[in-house]
Chain A
Amino acid sequence: MSNNDWSRSYTVSVPFQVSYDSSSIIIKYPETEESVSTWAERSTGAQHQQVGIWFEHPLDLNPYEITNIAIVNENLDSNLSNSPSKMFSRISWPIDNPSLQTLNAVGGYITLPTTNLQKAIFRRVAELTDLAIEDGINMSPESFLDLWSFTSTNPEMRPASIFALDNGNFRAEWTNAQGELVGLEFCGQKLVKFVIFAYALALGKMTRIAGLQAIGQIHGHLQAAFADHLLTN
Protein backbone atom coordinates (compact mmCIF):
# COMPACT_ATOMS: atom_id res chain seq x y z
CA MET A 1 0.00 0.00 0.00
CA SER A 2 1.19 3.50 -0.66
CA ASN A 3 1.81 6.04 2.06
CA ASN A 4 -1.48 7.78 1.42
CA ASP A 5 -3.54 4.66 1.94
CA TRP A 6 -4.78 3.23 5.13
CA SER A 7 -7.00 0.44 6.17
CA ARG A 8 -8.65 -1.15 9.14
CA SER A 9 -7.98 -4.81 8.90
CA TYR A 10 -8.62 -7.53 11.41
CA THR A 11 -6.01 -9.98 10.24
CA VAL A 12 -3.12 -8.09 8.79
CA SER A 13 -0.92 -11.15 8.81
CA VAL A 14 -3.18 -12.76 6.21
CA PRO A 15 -2.50 -11.53 2.66
CA PHE A 16 -5.38 -9.51 1.32
CA GLN A 17 -6.23 -7.80 -1.92
CA VAL A 18 -6.92 -4.12 -2.02
CA SER A 19 -8.84 -2.36 -4.73
CA TYR A 20 -9.88 1.24 -4.89
CA ASP A 21 -12.84 3.25 -5.94
CA SER A 22 -13.32 6.98 -5.68
CA SER A 23 -14.11 7.09 -2.01
CA SER A 24 -13.14 3.98 -0.19
CA ILE A 25 -10.86 1.03 0.12
CA ILE A 26 -12.29 -2.44 -0.23
CA ILE A 27 -10.46 -5.29 1.41
CA LYS A 28 -11.05 -8.85 0.30
CA TYR A 29 -10.09 -11.62 2.60
CA PRO A 30 -8.91 -14.69 0.72
CA GLU A 31 -10.62 -17.14 3.04
CA THR A 32 -14.10 -15.77 2.67
CA GLU A 33 -14.01 -13.62 -0.45
CA GLU A 34 -16.34 -11.33 1.42
CA SER A 35 -15.90 -7.65 0.80
CA VAL A 36 -15.43 -5.54 3.86
CA SER A 37 -16.08 -1.85 3.51
CA THR A 38 -13.76 0.20 5.65
CA TRP A 39 -13.62 3.74 6.86
CA ALA A 40 -13.57 6.04 3.85
CA GLU A 41 -10.26 7.19 2.49
CA ARG A 42 -9.98 10.93 2.16
CA SER A 43 -7.03 12.71 0.74
CA THR A 44 -5.96 15.56 2.98
CA GLY A 45 -3.55 16.96 0.47
CA ALA A 46 -0.99 17.04 3.23
CA GLN A 47 2.61 16.83 2.20
CA HIS A 48 3.59 15.24 5.48
CA GLN A 49 5.05 11.79 5.75
CA GLN A 50 2.88 9.09 7.20
CA VAL A 51 3.26 7.14 10.37
CA GLY A 52 1.39 3.94 11.01
CA ILE A 53 -0.64 3.58 14.16
CA TRP A 54 -0.97 -0.07 15.05
CA PHE A 55 -3.58 -1.17 17.54
CA GLU A 56 -2.50 -4.49 18.96
CA HIS A 57 -5.31 -6.83 19.90
CA PRO A 58 -5.15 -9.53 22.56
CA LEU A 59 -4.19 -13.05 21.64
CA ASP A 60 -7.79 -14.22 21.73
CA LEU A 61 -8.12 -12.27 18.47
CA ASN A 62 -10.85 -10.00 19.74
CA PRO A 63 -10.79 -7.01 17.38
CA TYR A 64 -12.83 -4.90 19.81
CA GLU A 65 -10.09 -4.95 22.46
CA ILE A 66 -6.61 -3.43 22.36
CA THR A 67 -3.57 -4.10 24.50
CA ASN A 68 -0.95 -1.72 23.10
CA ILE A 69 -0.56 1.04 20.58
CA ALA A 70 2.51 1.27 18.39
CA ILE A 71 3.47 4.33 16.38
CA VAL A 72 5.78 3.39 13.56
CA ASN A 73 7.63 5.26 10.84
CA GLU A 74 6.15 3.55 7.82
CA ASN A 75 9.42 3.89 5.94
CA LEU A 76 10.96 1.45 8.37
CA ASP A 77 10.23 -2.21 8.17
CA SER A 78 8.69 -2.96 11.53
CA ASN A 79 7.75 -6.54 10.72
CA LEU A 80 4.71 -6.02 12.85
CA SER A 81 2.46 -7.50 10.22
CA ASN A 82 4.58 -10.63 9.96
CA SER A 83 3.90 -11.63 13.51
CA PRO A 84 1.77 -14.77 13.17
CA SER A 85 0.52 -14.75 16.73
CA LYS A 86 -0.73 -11.23 16.90
CA MET A 87 -3.44 -9.25 15.26
CA PHE A 88 -3.46 -5.56 14.51
CA SER A 89 -5.64 -2.81 13.22
CA ARG A 90 -3.65 -0.22 11.38
CA ILE A 91 -4.24 3.27 10.12
CA SER A 92 -1.88 5.86 8.74
CA TRP A 93 -1.56 9.37 9.95
CA PRO A 94 0.29 12.33 8.48
CA ILE A 95 3.06 13.61 10.70
CA ASP A 96 5.15 16.73 10.40
CA ASN A 97 8.89 16.52 10.04
CA PRO A 98 9.92 17.54 13.58
CA SER A 99 7.66 14.84 15.02
CA LEU A 100 9.08 12.32 12.59
CA GLN A 101 12.60 13.27 13.63
CA THR A 102 11.63 12.68 17.24
CA LEU A 103 10.14 9.33 16.32
CA ASN A 104 13.23 8.34 14.36
CA ALA A 105 15.47 9.43 17.22
CA VAL A 106 13.99 6.65 19.32
CA GLY A 107 14.31 4.09 16.54
CA GLY A 108 11.23 4.87 14.47
CA TYR A 109 9.01 2.82 16.72
CA ILE A 110 7.21 3.64 19.96
CA THR A 111 4.94 1.30 21.86
CA LEU A 112 2.50 2.87 24.26
CA PRO A 113 0.36 1.14 26.87
CA THR A 114 -3.32 1.90 26.49
CA THR A 115 -5.39 3.66 29.10
CA ASN A 116 -8.77 2.34 30.16
CA LEU A 117 -10.33 5.32 28.42
CA GLN A 118 -8.58 4.49 25.15
CA LYS A 119 -9.64 0.86 25.44
CA ALA A 120 -13.26 1.92 25.95
CA ILE A 121 -13.14 4.33 23.03
CA PHE A 122 -11.58 1.77 20.69
CA ARG A 123 -14.16 -0.85 21.70
CA ARG A 124 -17.00 1.57 21.03
CA VAL A 125 -15.54 2.81 17.74
CA ALA A 126 -15.05 -0.75 16.52
CA GLU A 127 -18.66 -1.57 17.42
CA LEU A 128 -19.92 1.59 15.70
CA THR A 129 -17.85 0.92 12.62
CA ASP A 130 -19.44 -2.50 12.27
CA LEU A 131 -22.91 -0.98 12.66
CA ALA A 132 -22.03 1.67 10.08
CA ILE A 133 -20.88 -1.00 7.62
CA GLU A 134 -24.30 -2.66 8.00
CA ASP A 135 -25.81 0.68 6.98
CA GLY A 136 -23.44 1.08 4.02
CA ILE A 137 -21.53 3.92 5.67
CA ASN A 138 -17.76 4.28 5.58
CA MET A 139 -16.51 5.98 8.72
CA SER A 140 -13.96 8.75 8.35
CA PRO A 141 -10.40 7.95 9.49
CA GLU A 142 -9.73 11.66 9.98
CA SER A 143 -12.70 11.93 12.29
CA PHE A 144 -11.51 8.90 14.24
CA LEU A 145 -7.98 10.26 14.58
CA ASP A 146 -9.24 13.64 15.77
CA LEU A 147 -11.50 11.93 18.29
CA TRP A 148 -8.61 9.73 19.38
CA SER A 149 -6.13 12.58 19.78
CA PHE A 150 -8.66 14.77 21.60
CA THR A 151 -9.60 12.11 24.11
CA SER A 152 -6.00 10.94 24.54
CA THR A 153 -4.74 14.34 25.65
CA ASN A 154 -6.35 14.03 29.08
CA PRO A 155 -6.23 10.64 30.80
CA GLU A 156 -8.59 11.97 33.49
CA MET A 157 -11.30 12.64 30.93
CA ARG A 158 -14.73 11.17 31.65
CA PRO A 159 -15.71 8.51 29.12
CA ALA A 160 -17.91 10.02 26.44
CA SER A 161 -20.86 8.49 24.68
CA ILE A 162 -19.78 8.08 21.07
CA PHE A 163 -22.01 7.88 18.02
CA ALA A 164 -21.45 7.21 14.31
CA LEU A 165 -23.12 9.71 12.01
CA ASP A 166 -24.49 9.18 8.53
CA ASN A 167 -21.77 11.45 7.11
CA GLY A 168 -19.02 9.16 8.45
CA ASN A 169 -18.05 11.39 11.35
CA PHE A 170 -17.87 10.37 14.99
CA ARG A 171 -19.56 12.49 17.65
CA ALA A 172 -18.66 12.37 21.33
CA GLU A 173 -21.16 13.53 23.93
CA TRP A 174 -20.78 14.27 27.62
CA THR A 175 -23.97 14.83 29.59
CA ASN A 176 -25.19 15.01 33.15
CA ALA A 177 -28.48 14.66 34.98
CA GLN A 178 -28.98 18.43 34.98
CA GLY A 179 -29.42 18.46 31.21
CA GLU A 180 -25.99 19.90 30.47
CA LEU A 181 -24.36 18.65 27.28
CA VAL A 182 -21.14 18.89 25.37
CA GLY A 183 -21.48 17.38 21.90
CA LEU A 184 -18.40 17.36 19.68
CA GLU A 185 -18.60 16.14 16.09
CA PHE A 186 -15.13 15.48 14.74
CA CYS A 187 -15.29 16.63 11.13
CA GLY A 188 -11.70 15.93 10.10
CA GLN A 189 -9.17 18.55 9.10
CA LYS A 190 -8.89 19.38 12.83
CA LEU A 191 -12.37 20.90 12.87
CA VAL A 192 -15.06 20.22 15.44
CA LYS A 193 -18.75 21.07 15.31
CA PHE A 194 -19.87 21.68 18.85
CA VAL A 195 -23.13 22.02 20.76
CA ILE A 196 -22.87 23.14 24.38
CA PHE A 197 -25.66 23.25 26.96
CA ALA A 198 -24.19 24.65 30.18
CA TYR A 199 -25.93 26.01 33.23
CA ALA A 200 -24.79 29.55 33.97
CA LEU A 201 -25.04 30.18 37.69
CA ALA A 202 -24.75 33.94 37.25
CA LEU A 203 -27.67 33.98 34.87
CA GLY A 204 -29.64 31.30 36.64
CA LYS A 205 -30.42 29.56 33.37
CA MET A 206 -29.09 27.14 30.79
CA THR A 207 -26.98 28.71 28.07
CA ARG A 208 -26.91 27.02 24.68
CA ILE A 209 -24.35 27.64 21.97
CA ALA A 210 -23.30 25.83 18.81
CA GLY A 211 -20.71 26.35 16.12
CA LEU A 212 -17.53 25.23 14.43
CA GLN A 213 -14.12 25.44 16.08
CA ALA A 214 -10.56 24.24 15.53
CA ILE A 215 -9.82 21.20 17.65
CA GLY A 216 -6.96 22.98 19.38
CA GLN A 217 -9.32 25.71 20.57
CA ILE A 218 -12.07 23.50 21.92
CA HIS A 219 -10.75 23.16 25.47
CA GLY A 220 -10.53 26.93 25.81
CA HIS A 221 -13.97 27.27 24.30
CA LEU A 222 -15.42 24.82 26.82
CA GLN A 223 -13.76 26.65 29.68
CA ALA A 224 -15.16 29.97 28.49
CA ALA A 225 -18.63 28.41 28.34
CA PHE A 226 -18.22 26.91 31.84
CA ALA A 227 -18.78 23.48 30.34
CA ASP A 228 -15.34 21.90 30.82
CA HIS A 229 -16.45 20.22 34.06
CA LEU A 230 -18.58 17.85 31.97
CA LEU A 231 -15.44 16.30 30.51
CA THR A 232 -13.70 15.56 33.77
CA ASN A 233 -14.39 13.27 36.68
Chain B
Amino acid sequence: MLRHVKARFIEGGRVSGTAFRLRENEAELSFNWMEFDFYRNHTAEEQVALIAERYPLRLSRRDQFASLNVGAAKRFVLREHPAAKAIDFIEDGRADNPSHCLMKVPEIDDMVGDLLAQCVLQRFPAIVHGIS
Protein backbone atom coordinates (compact mmCIF):
# COMPACT_ATOMS: atom_id res chain seq x y z
CA MET B 1 0.00 0.00 0.00
CA LEU B 2 1.07 3.56 -0.65
CA ARG B 3 0.14 6.61 1.41
CA HIS B 4 0.66 10.11 0.05
CA VAL B 5 2.81 12.02 2.56
CA LYS B 6 3.00 15.80 2.47
CA ALA B 7 6.46 17.30 2.91
CA ARG B 8 5.28 18.77 6.22
CA PHE B 9 5.20 15.24 7.64
CA ILE B 10 8.75 14.25 6.71
CA GLU B 11 11.99 15.23 8.39
CA GLY B 12 15.41 13.69 8.16
CA GLY B 13 14.15 10.82 6.05
CA ARG B 14 11.57 9.80 8.62
CA VAL B 15 7.81 9.88 8.11
CA SER B 16 5.81 11.16 11.07
CA GLY B 17 2.73 9.41 12.37
CA THR B 18 0.89 12.62 11.55
CA ALA B 19 0.96 11.49 7.90
CA PHE B 20 -1.51 8.80 8.93
CA ARG B 21 -4.14 11.10 10.36
CA LEU B 22 -7.39 11.85 8.60
CA ARG B 23 -7.21 14.73 6.17
CA GLU B 24 -9.96 17.25 5.80
CA ASN B 25 -12.77 15.61 3.81
CA GLU B 26 -11.33 12.17 4.57
CA ALA B 27 -13.61 9.83 6.55
CA GLU B 28 -11.14 6.97 6.35
CA LEU B 29 -7.44 6.86 5.55
CA SER B 30 -6.79 6.70 1.82
CA PHE B 31 -4.13 4.46 0.32
CA ASN B 32 -3.29 3.14 -3.12
CA TRP B 33 -2.67 -0.48 -3.92
CA MET B 34 0.70 -0.84 -5.62
CA GLU B 35 -0.12 -4.26 -7.09
CA PHE B 36 -3.47 -3.23 -8.52
CA ASP B 37 -4.36 -5.02 -11.77
CA PHE B 38 -1.56 -4.75 -14.35
CA TYR B 39 0.53 -2.59 -12.00
CA ARG B 40 1.90 -5.81 -10.48
CA ASN B 41 3.95 -6.45 -13.60
CA HIS B 42 5.95 -3.30 -13.01
CA THR B 43 8.77 -2.34 -10.69
CA ALA B 44 7.95 -0.51 -7.47
CA GLU B 45 9.12 2.79 -8.97
CA GLU B 46 6.92 2.27 -12.02
CA GLN B 47 3.96 1.37 -9.80
CA VAL B 48 4.42 4.62 -7.90
CA ALA B 49 4.56 6.55 -11.17
CA LEU B 50 1.37 4.87 -12.38
CA ILE B 51 -0.39 5.79 -9.14
CA ALA B 52 0.94 9.35 -9.17
CA GLU B 53 -0.22 9.76 -12.75
CA ARG B 54 -3.86 9.31 -11.72
CA TYR B 55 -3.62 10.66 -8.21
CA PRO B 56 -6.52 13.05 -7.59
CA LEU B 57 -4.83 15.40 -5.10
CA ARG B 58 -2.16 17.97 -5.87
CA LEU B 59 1.33 16.57 -5.47
CA SER B 60 4.12 18.93 -4.52
CA ARG B 61 7.75 18.60 -5.41
CA ARG B 62 8.84 17.58 -1.90
CA ASP B 63 5.91 15.25 -1.19
CA GLN B 64 6.51 11.53 -1.05
CA PHE B 65 4.66 8.25 -1.12
CA ALA B 66 5.31 5.84 1.76
CA SER B 67 4.85 2.13 1.26
CA LEU B 68 3.62 -0.34 3.86
CA ASN B 69 3.10 -4.07 3.77
CA VAL B 70 -0.57 -4.76 4.45
CA GLY B 71 -0.15 -7.92 6.49
CA ALA B 72 2.69 -6.56 8.57
CA ALA B 73 0.82 -3.31 9.30
CA LYS B 74 -2.34 -5.16 10.32
CA ARG B 75 -0.44 -7.48 12.63
CA PHE B 76 1.66 -4.70 14.15
CA VAL B 77 -1.27 -2.41 14.99
CA LEU B 78 -3.32 -5.31 16.38
CA ARG B 79 -0.44 -6.50 18.54
CA GLU B 80 0.96 -3.16 19.70
CA HIS B 81 -2.04 -0.86 20.11
CA PRO B 82 -3.26 -0.97 23.73
CA ALA B 83 -6.82 -1.33 22.42
CA ALA B 84 -5.76 -4.10 20.00
CA LYS B 85 -7.17 -2.21 17.03
CA ALA B 86 -8.01 -4.42 14.07
CA ILE B 87 -7.35 -2.53 10.86
CA ASP B 88 -8.15 -3.66 7.36
CA PHE B 89 -7.62 -2.36 3.86
CA ILE B 90 -10.57 -2.37 1.47
CA GLU B 91 -10.42 -1.80 -2.28
CA ASP B 92 -12.30 1.34 -3.23
CA GLY B 93 -11.17 1.94 -6.82
CA ARG B 94 -12.85 4.60 -8.89
CA ALA B 95 -12.51 5.55 -12.52
CA ASP B 96 -10.32 8.52 -11.66
CA ASN B 97 -8.28 6.62 -9.06
CA PRO B 98 -8.55 2.91 -9.82
CA SER B 99 -6.05 1.64 -7.24
CA HIS B 100 -7.65 3.55 -4.35
CA CYS B 101 -8.08 1.71 -1.04
CA LEU B 102 -9.48 2.65 2.34
CA MET B 103 -8.17 1.65 5.72
CA LYS B 104 -10.95 0.49 8.02
CA VAL B 105 -10.40 0.85 11.75
CA PRO B 106 -12.94 0.86 14.59
CA GLU B 107 -11.86 4.32 15.75
CA ILE B 108 -8.74 6.02 14.50
CA ASP B 109 -6.53 7.80 17.01
CA ASP B 110 -3.08 9.37 17.08
CA MET B 111 -1.45 6.16 18.24
CA VAL B 112 -2.66 4.26 15.16
CA GLY B 113 -0.85 6.84 13.04
CA ASP B 114 2.35 6.54 15.04
CA LEU B 115 2.25 2.75 14.79
CA LEU B 116 1.65 2.87 11.03
CA ALA B 117 4.60 5.24 10.66
CA GLN B 118 6.79 2.54 12.19
CA CYS B 119 5.60 0.17 9.46
CA VAL B 120 6.86 2.32 6.58
CA LEU B 121 9.09 0.23 4.34
CA GLN B 122 10.12 2.65 1.61
CA ARG B 123 9.63 6.22 0.55
CA PHE B 124 9.30 7.38 -3.05
CA PRO B 125 9.29 10.89 -4.52
CA ALA B 126 5.72 11.85 -5.32
CA ILE B 127 6.74 13.54 -8.55
CA VAL B 128 8.96 11.44 -10.74
CA HIS B 129 10.32 12.45 -14.08
CA GLY B 130 11.53 10.05 -16.71
CA ILE B 131 9.28 7.11 -15.87
CA SER B 132 6.36 6.47 -18.14
Contacts and interface: CB of A to CB of B under 8 A. Distances in A.
Contacts of B18: 163, 165, 171
Given A132-B8, A175-B14, A197 B114 contact: yes
B80 A161 contact: no
A128 B8 contact: yes
B60 A208 contact: no
B79 to A, nearest CB: 10
A102 to B, nearest CB: 36
Candidate in B7, B14, B109 with the most chain A CB atoms within 10 angstroms: B7
Chain A interface mostly: strand
B8 A135 contact: yes
A192 to B, nearest CB: 12
B81 interface: yes
A23 to B, nearest CB: 14
B74 interface: no
A195 interface: yes
Q: Find the residue from B6, B23, B81 having the highest chain A CB count within 10 A.
A: B6
9 contacts: A162-B11, A163-B8, A163-B18, A165-B21, A173-B16, A175-B14, A209-B82, A210-B110, A210-B111
Given A195-B17, A197-B114, 8 more contacts: A131-B62, A161-B11, A161-B14, A162-B11, A166-B23, A193-B110, A195-B110, A209-B82
